[in-house]
Amino acid sequence: MPRNVNLRSTKRHVLLEVMAGDRPVCIVKYPRAQEESFLRNEAETLDWLHHAGLCTGPVSTPRLIGQGVAFNRIYLIQDFAEGEVPARLEENEAPAIALVDWLADVMSKAREEGTLTGTVQRMLDRVLPKYPAVEAVKRPTEAVAGRYRPVLMHGDLSYQNLLVRDGAVSLIDWEYARADGIPMADVLDFLLYDLYRDTKDYGAAVRGLFSGNRPQHWALLKRYCRAGGISDDDIRPLFQLFVLSKLDLLVRLSAPRAEQKAKELLEALSESPHESLQAQRDPA
């Protein structure tokens, strides 16, 4: 019989916290049905992050301790990540800056060579038949894809997958990670989710970020772009690429309320960064 084990139940996993004395030492992550490929993906990504020296420091990721198969399903054993879901960015800027710098660091250590052209083409092939409105962003996204290398992308960087304690950040739940990710996507995810917490409206979150009403969020985006060598002209097409990748995920995963989400995303496509406005407001 398991001794000193707590259980956490989430939509996608059952997590067993194994204790040694009064402290949790590791997590056994067991997937619900149909989640196995994601868990394999998480294992590979955590392994890569560890070998790239990216899983320690002010921003860390759980270390993969082991994996196994029980009842024909893979499970992972990871370090226990301590911390709380962070408060809003306004109250928690230091960890947010550390996170953005870390993401820029990850961008510089890309796992794959070449450009994003192939990835974007595959996305367009999947998304266009279902959402023809995407045709409008086909050309700019293809053009920007040729200028950037794929980067490692977390793929689900909402505040719920961040744990903060004493200024240190842990990034958990890497099952949607991809090696052929889009630059800036994780930062956008992080900033937009933070804004979404206030409004519960994705379109409003996008407008908030790009209209200059949320200078703190905008400054973080610019900080990432500066560190990652992304020019101001590329912010809009990279944002469109980010929206395209979200639509691609909806098409591939048949998520609940996918149509509503897709509608919000397609509306968001019409939003664009107002550079002239930002130039006045952003002293950098």
Partner 1 sequence: MTYRYSKDHIGTQHYDEFFRNLDAHGWKTAMDRLMTLQDIIKPQKISMFLSDQRRNDFIFLLPLGEESVVLDYGSGWGNTTFTLAPYCKQVVAMEADHGRLRFSAAHFAHRGVYNVTPVRSGNALSLPFRDNSFDAVIMNGVLEWTPRSINGPPEEVHKQVLTEVRRVLKSNGTLQISIENRFGYAYLLGKRDHHCGGLRWAPFLPRPLANLYSWLWLRQPYRTWFYSYGRLREVISGAGFGDTQIYSYFHNHVRYSHMYLLDDEANVSRKAHEILANQRVTWKDRLAYRLGCRLRQFRWIAQDFMVVTKKN
Q: Which residues bind partner 1 (CB under 8 A)?
A: 1-11, 14, 16, 19, 22, 30, 32, 71, 84-85
CB of 75 to partner 1, least distance (A): 10
Q: Distance between CA 17 and CA 26 in Å, rounded?
A: 6
CB of 182 to partner 1, least distance (A): 29
Nearer to partner 1, 29 or 214 (CB): 29
- Rounded-to-10 torsion of CA 45, 173, 186, 55: -50
CB of 83 to partner 1, least distance (A): 9
CB of 22 to partner 1, least distance (A): 4
Tell me the torsion sign for CA atoms 94, 100, 102, 105: negative
DSSP 3-state assignment of 78? strand
Q: Distance between CA 185 and CA 221 in Å, rounded?
A: 10
Residue 89: closest CA among 198, 236, 3, 6: 198
Nearer to partner 1, 27 or 262 (CB): 27
Nearer to partner 1, 14 or 168 (CB): 14
CB of 164 to partner 1, least distance (A): 10
Nearer to partner 1, 5 or 255 (CB): 5
Nearer to partner 1, 32 or 122 (CB): 32
Give the number of residues written for the chain: 284
Q: Distance between CA 226 and CA 97 in Å, rounded?
A: 13
Q: Distance between CA 165 and CA 96 in Å, rounded?
A: 12
Residue type, 47: D
